[in-house]
Amino acid sequence: MSPVVALAAEEKMNPLLPAWPEVIIGLLCFFIVFGLLGKKLLPSIEKVLSERRDAIEGGMERAQTAQAEAQALLEQYRAELAEARHEAARITEHAREQGAALITEMREEGQRQRDAIVTAGHAQIEADKKQATAVLRQDVGALASQLASRIVGESLEDHARQSGVIDRFLDDLEAKAAVAQGAAK
C-alpha cells in the first residue's frame, strides 16, 4: 500500500460519520432483539418469576401457619398434661382419705362388734349363773329336806316348804357369803 493510496483511503473515511446502511441494519437488528424479547421472552420469564415469588411467599406463609399450629398444639398438650397431673394427684389424695376413713370405720365396726360379743357373753354368763343358782337353790333345798327328813325320820317336806325355812336359811347363807365376799374385797 503506497502512502498516497493510504492517505486517499483515510481522507475518504471519517470514523465519526455513520454509514446509513449500517445504521439501518443496526436498528433492524436491535428491533428484532427488542421485539422478540419485549413481546414474548421477557413477559414469559417475568410471569414465572412472579409465580416463583408467590410460591416462595406462599410456602413461607404455610410454614408460619404450621408452626403456629404446632405451637398451639404444644400449649394445649402441656395444659392437658398439667391438668391430668393435677387430676391424678387429686384422685390419689381422695383415695388416701377414703382409705383412711374406711380403716377408721372398720376399726370402729370391729370395736363395736367386739363390744357386742363381750356384752352378749356377759349376759349369757349372767343368765347361766342365775339359772344355775336357781337350780342349785332348788336342789340344795331338796337335798337338805331329804337329808333332814332322813335324820328326823319324817317328811318335813310340805311343812318345810310352807314355812319357807329352807329359803330363809339359804338367804342367810347367801347374805353371809356376800358379807364375806365384801370383806374379802
Identify which of 184, 141, 147 has the alpha carbon closest to the alpha carbon of residue 166.
141
The correct pick among 2, 4, 20, 152 for binding other proteins (CB under 8 A) is: 20
**Closer of 34 and 77 to other proteins (Cβ):** 34
Q: What φ, ψ does residue 164 adopt, rounded to 5°?
A: 70, 25
Q: Does 151 bind other proteins (CB under 8 A)?
A: no
Torsion angle in degrees (nearest 10) through CA of 82, 84, 86, 90: 180
Q: Does 8 bind other proteins (CB under 8 A)?
A: no
The correct pick among 2, 4, 17, 181 for binding other proteins (CB under 8 A) is: 17
**Three cell numbers, residue 171:** 338367804
Q: Do 46 and 53 meet the contact criterion of CB atoms below 8 Å apart?
A: no
The correct pick among 2, 4, 8, 13 for binding other proteins (CB under 8 A) is: 13
Interactions with other proteins, residue window 36-75 (CB under 8 A): 36-38, 40-42, 44-45, 47-49, 51-52, 55
**Closer of 21 and 182 to other proteins (Cβ):** 21
Instruction: Characterise 154 by phi-psi region: left (phi > 0), alpha (psi -120 to 50), beta (else).
Output: beta
Degrees (nearest 5) of the Cα angle 139, 129, 114?
160
- How many residues interact with other proteins (rule CB under 8 A)? 37
d(CA 185, CA 181): 6
Interactions with other proteins, residue window 21-40 (CB under 8 A): 21-27, 29-30, 32-34, 36-38, 40
Window contacting other proteins (CB under 8 A); options: 6-14, 63-71, 74-82, 117-125: 6-14
3-state secondary structure of 141: helix
Q: Does 184 bind other proteins (CB under 8 A)?
A: no
Q: Do 157 and 145 meet the contact criterion of CB atoms below 8 Å apart?
A: yes
**Closer of 49 and 143 to other proteins (Cβ):** 49
| Chain residues in the site for other proteins (CB under 8 A) | 1, 6, 9-10, 13, 15-27, 29-30, 32-34, 36-38, 40-42, 44-45, 47-49, 51-52, 55
